[in-house]
């Protein structure tokens, strides 16, 4: 099976639709909206974790890999979901959080109880001296990456929250557990797997980070990671020819991504990387926000597109996910040109070489939350950042601005179905506030307007299925030095595609050798004209197509 014509839709289940009126989204809520997703035309739904969890990190702290959290529903609900998806030719992608478990997981509890078998499932080390952790690594959510356990006079590693203990992948029993978990869900009909921070599983020793950074050079793309992935592939998902896998990679290099997702590597089908979503980080710091650096963004797209294609490796194509602010607020203009910039961003990403992902609500133009009080926030990373940034001397006003720009909660507000009280997400106060702009931005409005963003996404998905050049064409950068336009060509022996996007609210022009035998496949203004001396209006974007024979 080829995955090259597929498009994935991501659902953060807690925020999609609440069918049982408790303020939390659930599986029955998803089932109620499958017709909507079928209409959009997607092939896979990636669900953020729905397994049992104390919920300290939105389900990425798994306490039982084989049982669904009752807040989402029962195994019968899941089986119904699976049947209803199959009827609509939609496959299910599950999120496998294998770098760490919740400290509530039975394995960790057994470890704490002193069982040496389970203690070796985790990474326990002696401190440097009393009260001093084994090394200077920092948790990605702030503070030291080690937690002291008095009973052992040892510390356990947690690269994320203190309740997310890192697993010891050098232990073959741990690796076998992971294979069994995947096979458990495969038996239940799951064909897609997203692997959370999978490039962090192999640690390169436990020395101090000499640069006093966070320690990432010791665990990113570590020495055995490729070996572990090949082993996992051989004994689990690789047995399924229909499947689609994607690794979520933190700060991975291009060469490692070639290995993770090369067609002949026998590891994964594709990779998520985040380099292009750090172009608005000042000095590479998430909470130090700057305007996005367009030249860097273009350069990153061009380098990664050409670098991966050269070695037949495959990227996931995305602007949004549950960890990122909304792209319309970040790279577009939600105030003055929401429709034009939303369509432009969609076109720019969907016509590239790779597998497009749409994060729920992106297709209707959802924006950042614009929360202005701390009590609106729910995410552990944001709440920690608030404290740490104040301690570091940032003013309260600037901290709130930083959260407004980069908090993960921007992506996690409830799906906006219509303009009623809770946007028809629920009939109860939701676990996190609905964005007040649901009175204008919602599914109902989108479906009623043939010119809406929803139908633009629907068309982009249909085009990918129709044109081989979108699925497989070679990517060639165009207008590389243009200060406002991101443009590229895709080509096969028979077909050529030219994609032109103005990333700004100001008009601009360009020159390219375009003849009139191009057709316009999709655009975001009604009266687009083709010319070698092109003129673009604010956020104007179009795709030109030409058959060579």
Q: Sketch the per residue contact string, 74 through 103, with ligand TEU: x for CB under 6 A, - otherwise.
A: -----------------------x------
Region 153-192 residues binding ligand TEU, contact defined as CB under 6 A: 160
Give the list of residues 6+ apart from residue 411 with CB closer than 8 angstroms, or none: 12, 320, 321, 322, 323, 324, 325, 326, 359
407 scored as a contact of ligand TEU (CB under 6 A): no
Considering the complex, state which of residue 101 and residue 528 has its C-beta at the smaller distance from ligand TEU: 101
Count the neighbouring beta carbons within 10 Å of the beta carbon of residue 279: 19
d(CA 158, CA 549): 58
In the bound state with ligand TEU, the residue whose beta carbon lies nearer, of 165 and 461, is 165
Among 3, 12, 46, 60, binds ligand TEU (CB under 6 A): 60
CB of 500 to ligand TEU, least distance (A): 31
Figure out which of the listed residues 250, 265, 382, 528 binds ligand TEU, where binding follows CB under 6 A.
250
Q: Is 323 in the site for ligand TEU (CB under 6 A)?
A: yes
The CB-of-199 to ligand TEU minimum distance in angstroms stands at 10
97 vs 328, beta carbon nearer ligand TEU: 97
Question: Whole-number minimum distance, CB 366 to ligand TEU, in Å?
Answer: 18
- Least Å distance between CB 400 and ligand TEU? 18
Least distance (Å) between residue 138 CB and ligand TEU:
12
Give me the catalytic one of 196, 231, 362, 409.
196
Select 197 or 279, whichever has its Cβ closest to ligand TEU. 197
Do residues 378 and 412 touch, judged by C-beta distance below 8 A?
yes
Contact between 140 and ligand TEU by CB under 6 A: the answer reads: yes
Query: CB 47 → ligand TEU: shortest distance, Å?
Result: 13
Is 340 marked active-site? Answer: no
CB 328 within 8 A of CB 334: yes
Tokens of 106: 């039975």
Of 221, 381, 445, 496, the one binding ligand TEU by CB under 6 A: 381
Mask of contacts with ligand TEU, 259-298, x by CB under 6 A? ---------------------------x------------
Task: List Cα–Cα distances, 391 to 77, 171, 384, 387, 447, in angstroms.
Answer: 46, 39, 11, 6, 47
Q: Which residues contact 485 (CB under 8 A, 6 or more apart)?
A: 479, 500, 501, 502, 503, 508, 510, 536
408 belongs to the binding site for ligand TEU (CB under 6 A): yes
Q: Which residue lies nearer to ligand TEU by CB, 125 or 286?
A: 286
Q: Which tokens sit at 310? A: 């050269």
Sequential DSSP letters for 46-89: EEPP-EE---TTTT-S-SEEEEE-TTT--HHHHHHHHHHHHHTT
Write the CB contacts of 140 (distance below 8 Å, at least 6 apart in sequence): 159, 160, 214, 250, 381
> Which member of 18, 26, 43, 57 binds ligand TEU (CB under 6 A)?
57
Q: Smallest distance, Å, CB 158 to ligand TEU?
A: 10
Which of 292, 321, 285, 291 is closest to 142 using CA atoms? 285
**Exposure b/e, 295-312, CB count within 10 A at least 16 = b:** eebbbbbbebbbebbebe
196 assigned to active site: yes
CB of 313 to ligand TEU, least distance (A): 20
Decide if residue 363 touches ligand TEU (CB under 6 A): no
**Reduced to 3 states, what is the DSSP secondary structure of residue 294?**
helix
Query: For ligand TEU, which is the closer residue by CB, 389 or 441?
Result: 389
Residues in the chain: 549
C-beta closer to ligand TEU: residue 191 or 406: 406
Residue with Cβ nearer ligand TEU (371 or 488): 371
Quick count: other Cβ atoms within 10 Å of Cβ 129?
7
Nearest distance, CB of residue 102 and ligand TEU, angstroms: 10
Residues 185-244 that bind ligand TEU (CB under 6 A): 196-197
Q: How many residues bind ligand TEU (CB under 6 A)?
A: 14
The two structure tokens encoding residue 109: 């509890």
Place of tokens 């490692």: 256
Burial pattern 93-104, b for ≥16 Cβ within 10 A else e, equals bbbbbbbbbbbb
User: Which residue's Cβ has the minimum distance to ligand TEU?
Assistant: 60
* Rounded CA separation 105/392 (Å): 34
Cα 406 from Cα 516, distance rounded (Å)? 43
Catalytically annotated residue among 221, 248, 259, 381: 248
Judged by CB, which is closer to ligand TEU: 216, or 489?
A: 216
- Residues in touch with ligand TEU (CB under 6 A): 57, 60, 97, 140, 160, 196-197, 248, 250, 286, 322-323, 381, 408
- Residues taking part in catalysis: 196, 248
């Amino acid at each position: 099976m080829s995955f090259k014509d597929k498009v994935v839709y991501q659902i953060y289940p807690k925020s999609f639709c609440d069918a049982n009126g408790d303020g939390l989204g659930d599986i029955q809520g998803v089932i109620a909206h499958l017709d909507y997703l079928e209409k959009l035309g997607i092939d896979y739904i990636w669900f953020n974790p729905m397994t049992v969890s104390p919920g300290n990190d939105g389900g990425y702290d798994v306490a039982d890999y084989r049982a669904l959290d009752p807040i989402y529903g029962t195994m019968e609900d899941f089986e119904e979901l699976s049947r209803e998806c199959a009827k609509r030719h939609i496959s299910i992608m599950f999120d496998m959080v294998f770098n760490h478990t919740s400290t509530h997981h039975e394995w960790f509890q057994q470890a704490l109880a002193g069982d040496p078998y389970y203690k070796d499932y985790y990474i326990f080390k002696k401190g440097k001296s009393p009260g001093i952790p084994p090394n200077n690594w920092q948790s990605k959510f702030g503070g030291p990456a080690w937690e002291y356990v008095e009973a052992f006079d040892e510390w356990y590693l947690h690269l994320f929250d203190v309740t997310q203990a890192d697993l010891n992948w050098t232990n073959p029993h741990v690796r076998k557990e992971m294979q069994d978990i995947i096979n458990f869900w495969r038996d239940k009909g799951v064909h897609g797997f997203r692997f959370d921070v999978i490039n962090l599983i192999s640690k390169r020793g436990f020395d101090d980070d000499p640069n006093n950074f966070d320690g990432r050079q010791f665990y990113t793309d570590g020495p055995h990671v490729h070996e572990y992935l090949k082993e996992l592939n051989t004994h689990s998902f690789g047995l399924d020819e229909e499947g689609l896998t994607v690794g979520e990679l933190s700060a991975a290099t291009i060469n490692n991504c070639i290995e993770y997702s090369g067609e002949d590597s026998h590891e994964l089908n594709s990779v998520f990387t985040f380099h292009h979503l750090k172009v608005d980080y000042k000095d590479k710091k998430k909470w130090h926000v700057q305007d996005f650096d367009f030249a860097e963004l273009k350069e990153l797209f061009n380098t990664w597109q050409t670098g991966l294609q050269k070695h037949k490796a495959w990227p996931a194509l995305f602007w949004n996910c549950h960890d990122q602010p909304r792209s319309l607020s970040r790279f577009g203009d939600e105030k003055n040109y929401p429709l034009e910039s939303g369509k432009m961003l969609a076109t720019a990403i969907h016509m590239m070489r790779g597998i497009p992902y749409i994060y729920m609500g992106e297709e209707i133009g959802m924006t950042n939350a614009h929360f202005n009080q701390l009590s609106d926030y729910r995410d552990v990373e944001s709440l920690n950042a608030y404290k740490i940034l104040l301690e570091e001397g940032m003013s309260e006003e600037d901290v709130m601005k930083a959260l407004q720009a980069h908090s993960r909660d921007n992506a996690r507000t409830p799906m906006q179905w219509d303009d009623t009280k809770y946007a028809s997400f629920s009939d109860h106060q939701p676990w996190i506030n609905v964005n007040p702009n649901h009175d204008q931005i919602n599914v109902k409005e989108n479906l009623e307007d043939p010119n809406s963003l929803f139908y633009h996404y629907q068309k982009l998905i249909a085009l990918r299925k129709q044109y081989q050049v979108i699925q497989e064409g070679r990517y060639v950068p165009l207008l590389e030095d243009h200060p406002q336009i991101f443009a590229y060509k895709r080509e096969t022996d028979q077909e050529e595609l030219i994609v032109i996007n103005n990333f700004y609210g100001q008009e601009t022009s360009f020159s390219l050798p375009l003849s009139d035998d191009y057709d316009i496949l999709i655009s975001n203004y009604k009266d687009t004209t083709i010319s070698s001396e092109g003129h673009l209006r604010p956020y104007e974007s179009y795709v030109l197509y030409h058959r060579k024979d």
